Chain A
């Protein structure tokens, strides 16, 4: 009898423990994870911010997530206040400051004061030991997409002159210019790429002027690295030229001129980071990826892209996905004649030297 009672107590205890264990994660999952996103510009700019916002819209559909967003937040104290407000007033425990300029000192300052909140910064260079562990950065190797843009452009260009409208000569932009040029020259080594820097991330009149100037020079395929490519795409299309998109798909704006595009697929990165937050795993500090990991993607080919061009690009894409293709492989000279990548050396996408790029490769007309 005593044994039966003991067994029953035991059974009840273990049943109770099991039930508690079963309910606990359920209870944890009941409370939604409050996630905040901060954009530096308008969400519908057909460019950088829209790429983020489109993927955030997909995040909103994920179960157990509550999203707060704020747009047009300048890279000043204001973003600190926005993030602090999301934490204090909206109960956010995971924040995504999405503009490069938000990292230092703003994200770091807010992170220092809120050690229980996770910060995932887009584009920043998180360094172990230098930056707190509740911060982290994620970014994609979109130069892979620009390389493929270049391949398609190389096939499509009749004048053998392609153009790039860029904002500022910073490493991320230079990397894109170089990848675009290398991609085109892999099809035809005589192709040149002329670059114009407008000076800032969003200057519609300057961007239109730059596009027109380049078109006057005989350039017939364009791409860009500015926050909102809409003006450049439309201006190029008006001049009867072809264009490769960037950030998000601008195909709807000029379907007869849009060849392909290099787009962000931020959802992959978001999911990794949100997953870690939801399941209590440590905050991923350095998240990077390219085509292979699904961080970036290419827009579908436009109708005017030739069969040969598609095959060429797809072959290279397959090699990138397999990890057997290096864009920056030597011998590579810059446009002043200096050797920047020695013969036999090849930089992997994750190599830190690429993040400090300060040259334009041979074939680019322009100065850093």
Chain B
């Protein structure tokens, strides 16, 4: 591979990191909040698809992309609220409810989204950070989604809020020791439901990014496991919002490798390249988890890691 090709490849990966990574960022931040409170929400895959559809529909019907974004967030919150309520019932498993929500979210999205496949909706604007460069490649790689800075700000807010505010402490208590939370008079279920709903709202913003920016269209094949990968990302990121940001960018870049390689002429085995994000996630999980010691940073109440 010539130097030119390497440079092109790196540029494509950088561009892809932000482009493809934005939905990962939002979903993993939302899941991070939910899991910090001691609940796991696998249904974020369904939330992602459903809020993408709702956001697209909202933007299309109202003519404003930001109203669409708001609607996406609210619909994500609504679906996550359902998850929270179901899980707060006795004997209902978090994981099973998550799977149910995956199915329901996708089904509702496909059903209600039928009339939305054809039309175009106003898109979220992009911020041209690369305007200083003459190269179109750099320009496009650095033309970022207006939601991306929102995501970065959210990561900062979450990181600071969880560590330094009272609400953050309450959430962490519900996740680390429900007894302590109860002793202090907080309803553990209530905190978890609130955290799950807020997490759903944030994940919904990721859905809006998919349908209103990149690829910018509603289609039944829009998500292919991105919600699930984001849940795995949270474990990889050790439940730290900043590391979630890094992990999202990493996976976005990994997803861009396949097409980038083909565009510089290396075209064998593109299926295998398409599988890189999944294999990478699995490899990271295998490397970081262990039966003997609890994963450092895991909320104690989370039933995910035995």
Contact = CB atoms under 8 A, between A and B. Distances in A.
Interface of A: 42, 44-46, 50, 194-199, 202-210, 212-218, 228, 230-231, 234-235, 238-239, 253, 365-367
Closest 7 CB pairs of A and B: A208-B215, A213-B263, A216-B137, A44-B118, A210-B259, A209-B259, A367-B267
B117 A216 contact: no
A303 B274 CA distance: 38
A206 B274 contact: yes
Task: Classify the interface of chain B: helix, strand, loop or mixed.
Answer: helix
B220 interface: yes
B19 interface: yes
Contacts of B217: 204, 230-231, 234
Interface string B262-282: 111101101100100000000
A366 B16 CA distance: 21
B216 A217 contact: no
B216 A238 contact: yes
A30 B213 CA distance: 53
Contact of B262 (A197, A204, A234): A197
B136 interface: yes
B137 to A, nearest CB: 4
Given A197-B262, A213-B260, A231 B219 contact: yes
A216 B12 contact: yes
Contacts of A239: 140
B294 to A, nearest CB: 35
A261 B68 CA distance: 32
B19 A204 contact: no
Nearest to A231: B215
15 contacts: A42-B114, A45-B117, A46-B117, A195-B262, A199-B271, A205-B224, A205-B255, A206-B258, A206-B259, A209-B260, A213-B256, A215-B136, A231-B217, A235-B215, A253-B120
Given A199-B270, A203-B221, A239-B140, A214 B118 contact: no
Nearest to A220: B136
B215 A205 contact: yes
Given A206-B258, A206-B259, A210-B263, A216 B140 contact: yes
B222 A215 contact: no
B138 to A, nearest CB: 9
A45 B118 CA distance: 6
Interface string B225-243: 0000000000000000000
A120 B263 CA distance: 38
Contacts of A206: 258-259, 274
Given A204-B217, A231-B216, A196 B263 contact: yes
A207 B271 CA distance: 14
Contact of B255 (A194, A209, A365): A209
Given A199-B271, A205-B222, A212 B262 contact: no
A234 B270 contact: no
B219 A214 contact: no
A213 B137 CA distance: 9
Interface in B202-221: 210, 214-217, 219-221
A360 B255 CA distance: 27
Contacts of A213: 12, 256, 259-260, 262-263
Contacts of A42: 114, 117, 220
Contact of B215 (A199, A204, A217): A204
A208 B264 contact: no
B253 to A, nearest CB: 11
Which of A44, A212, A230 has the most chain B CB atoms inside 10 A of its CB?
Answer: A212
Contacts of A214: 263
Contacts of B118: 44, 46, 50, 230
Contact of B15 (A197, A210, A212): A212
Nearest to A227: B221
A13 B268 CA distance: 78
Nearest to A202: B221
A217 B259 contact: no
Nearest to B268: A367
A183 to B, nearest CB: 21
A88 B264 CA distance: 53
Nearest to A209: B259
Contacts of A235: 215-216
Nearest to A240: B136
B131 to A, nearest CB: 14
A39 B176 CA distance: 52
Which of A45, A194, A196, A202 has the most chain B CB atoms inside 10 A of its CB?
Answer: A196
B109 interface: no
Contacts of A44: 114, 117-118
Given A196-B263, A213-B263, A234-B120, A228 B136 contact: no
Contacts of A230: 118, 217, 219
Given A216-B8, A216-B15, A253-B120, A205 B262 contact: no
A234 B216 contact: yes
Contacts of B263: 194, 196, 210, 213-214, 216-217
Given A44-B117, A216-B8, A367-B268, A209 B219 contact: no
B54 interface: no
A234 B15 CA distance: 18
B141 interface: yes
Contact of A366 (B8, B20, B120, B267): B267
Contacts of A204: 215, 217, 219, 221-222
A228 B221 CA distance: 11
Contacts of B216: 208, 231, 234-235, 238
B11 interface: yes
Contacts of B274: 199, 206
A209 B16 contact: yes
Contact of B214 (A202, A208, A217): A208
Contacts of A207: 215
